[in-house]
Chains A and B, each alone.
Chain A
C-alpha cells in the first residue's frame, strides 16, 4: 500500500471528522445541558445545506456567506421551536425519551418539507472554485473540502470561545454542571436552555453546509448524519466540546485508515464495529471532564 494514498485518506478522514464535530457540538450541548436528545438536529443541518444550495443556485451567494447568514436565521427559528415544542415537554417524567419522540416527529416533518421544496434528487454544492484543488507535493486537496474544513474549525472555535469567555456562555456551563446551584446564583434556566438550543441549531446549519461541501446530500441524508453525531458525541463525552472535537478526529482517522486499507463496503462495518467495542469499554467517552 502506498504511503501517499494512506496519508491522503487520513487527511480526508480528519477533515470529515472535523465537520462531524461541528455538527456534533450543538447536539452534545443540548443533550448535556438540557437533557434533550435532539433527533432533528441533523435535519436542521440539512436545512442549512439546502438553504445554501438555493442561495448559490439563484443568487450566486458563496456557501461560507450563507453559513454566516443562516446562523441568526436558524437561531430565531430554534427559539420558536424551543418555546412551542421543547419547553412544554420538560415536565415529562422522562425528558430524554419524550424529547426523542417529539424531535423524531420534527425530523420527519423537516425531511418531507425538504422533499416538497427541493425534491428527492441528490444535490452537491458547487461554488465557483468547486473544480479547483490545492496541490502540495504528492497530495491533492479539493478547495470545497478545504473550505468546509475551515468553516468547521471557525465554527467550533466560536462556540468554544462563547462558552469560555462570555457571561452567557459561562451560565450555560454552570447550568450543565450544577443546575440547582446555577439557579441560586440567578441563572434563568429556561432562558439558558433556549439559548443553548438555538445556538446548537445554528451551529448545525453551519455544520450541514460544511458537510455539504464535502459530500452530496439528499433529504434523508440526515439519518446517516445523525448516527455519526451520536458516535462523535458519545465518544467525546456528552456536553464536552473539546471531547467532541477529539472524537471527530479519532473517528476521522479510523474511517480514513479503513478507507485506505479496506474495500469500500467494509469501511462502515469497521467503523461501527470499533465504536461498539469502544463503547463497551468506555461508555462515558474518552474524557469525563466537561465543557
Chain B
C-alpha cells in the first residue's frame, strides 16, 4: 500500500513538472504557480497552527520578509537570475531568524491571545518596511526580470516553486511522523499535561514556528521575483494571513493532507468564481462556501470524510 502511494505521488509530481512542456498559456502557469505557493504557505502554517494549535494570524509577515529580503538583495547587488532565485533561501532563513526572536516571547501566550499578538506583529513588520526608505518604503521595489522569453522564464519559476512545494510537503510528511510532530500534537491537546510528561514544549513550539516561517520566506522570495515588483501592501496583506489559516483549517488542521486540499480547493474556487461571475457576486459565493463547509464539516474536510469512511 505504502509503495503504491509513493509511486502515485511520484507520478503526480512528474506530471506537474512536465506540465510546462505542453506549452500552456502563461495564465495557466501563473495559476498553478499560485496554487503551489498557497500549498506551501498553508502546509508550513500547519506546523505551528495545525499541529501545535497555535493559530498564527501573522504568517504573511514571514512571506513578506522573504519577498522584501530577496528583492532588496537582487536590486542592491544586481544579482543574476540564478542568484536571485537562490537568494530566496537566505531570505527564508532571515524570516526563520525573525521567527526565532518573535516566537520566543510570543509562544508563551496561548489561545486567541497568541493570534492577536501575531496580527500585531504582522502590522509592525509591514509598517516598518513601509516607513523605512532603505527597506523599500512606500514605493516598493522593482526587480530586473530575466532576459529570456516570458514563457520560458515563467516556466523556470514554476518549476522552482514546484520543487519548493515538494520539499515543504516532504518535510511536513516527516514532521507528522516524528517526535517533534507527536510532541506538537500533545501540546495541542493539553499543554500542561504535555509539560508534565517531560515534553520540552517551549523548545518544540519554537522549532515548529521557525520551520513554519522558513518555507513561506522562500516562497515570498520567489513570488517577488515572479511579480518583478513588490509593495508592502501586496505581500504583507492581512488577507493573505487570514487566507492561510482558513485554507489549513478548511481542509483540516494538524493533518498532512488537510492544508493541501484546503489550499487547492480555495485557490481553484476563488479563481473559477472570478472568471464566471461578477467580482462581488463571486466573493459572496466564496463567503457562503466558508459558512456551508463550517456548518456541515465543522472540523475540516479531512475529518468529515475520515469519519464517513471509518464509520
Contacts and interface: CB of A to CB of B under 8 A. Distances in A.
24 contacts: A89-B298, A92-B294, A96-B111, A98-B294, A102-B291, A104-B290, A107-B287, A108-B290, A112-B283, A113-B284, A115-B280, A223-B238, A227-B123, A230-B116, A231-B120, A234-B112, A234-B113, A265-B127, A265-B138, A276-B117, A279-B109, A279-B117, A280-B106, A283-B109
Contacts of A283: 108-110, 113, 117
B62 interface: no
B127 A272 contact: yes
A112 B124 contact: no
B121 to A, nearest CB: 6
Nearest to A284: B113
B113 A97 contact: no
Interface in B62-117: 105-106, 108-113, 116-117
A268 interface: yes
Given A101-B294, A265-B131, A108 B299 contact: no
A77 interface: no
Given A91-B298, A105-B289, 13 more contacts: A85-B295, A92-B294, A97-B249, A104-B290, A105-B290, A108-B287, A223-B239, A227-B123, A234-B113, A234-B116, A268-B123, A269-B124, A283-B110
A93 B298 contact: yes
Interface residues of B, number: 43
* Prevailing SS type, chain B contact patch: helix
Contact of B286 (A108, A231, A279): A108
Interface in B235-287: 238-239, 242, 246, 249-250, 253, 280-281, 283-284, 286-287
B116 A112 contact: no
Contacts of A284: 113
B286 to A, nearest CB: 6
Given A89-B298, A272-B127, A116 B112 contact: no
B130 interface: yes
A88 B250 CA distance: 17
What secondary structure prevails in chain A residues at the interface with B? helix
A275 B58 CA distance: 15
Contacts of B280: 112-113, 115-116
A108 B284 contact: yes
B140 to A, nearest CB: 15
A106 B287 contact: yes
Nearest to A267: B127
